[in-house]
Structure 1
């Protein structure tokens, strides 16, 4: 069973399953996040939805470049969680199935190309409270308990 974070499931609501991949990108005592301005300003782990037919690892590389401008090297899969939420940018109620990977930031290639996103380095300890959803915060806490 996949652990759920966030809002409880509304039994009267129909949800569309949305698989996604996200990265914990740590460099020393800092983590690379993305700040999304819309629809609600928040810090997030970089990543996003897997397009139909796209391999999850390819999706992770694409999403991190779009949201941060950084090239990464994936270390390993950390875990998965799900959350049920409304995605206003798609006018969609979604069951987001979020797979989290540990990865290393390799090189900044450009500014983020995803509109409304800004790459933000922050201390890991701050990210434990500033990331915008419970699942991201829980996965970061799990990563901190693991040997480097």
Structure 2
């Protein structure tokens, strides 16, 4: 016969194992829907993605490609290392680091006519980034 102390310890260990297994299963089944890796313009050209499906598009803004229609709607072209290009339309305020040649990730949908309608823009910067305030302060000294 097991003593009550051993039985109690076995119960707690079993309960802990069930809870840990439940947590792992929740993570495994919930995570794939939350992962949203970005695609490059070259990948968009080779993949069959349905218009209207939300995805992330990453690349660099082609120098000379930026235009604005009314100050609110912005058009630019993204490219990648493989030479793929994708026209992007975005309505809204541009991020502070937005400029031609800059790396960005745009979240949006394909419009069905070969364009990409971005809902959000995320500008990327390198590890040497220095905020404008610090840069101005350092140059003043």
Give the alignment's TM-score, normalised by structure 1.
0.23
By relative contact order (CA 8 Å, sep 6+), the higher-ranking structure is 1
TM-score under structure 2 length normalisation: 0.24
Structure number with the higher helix fraction is 2
Structure with max Cα Rg: 2
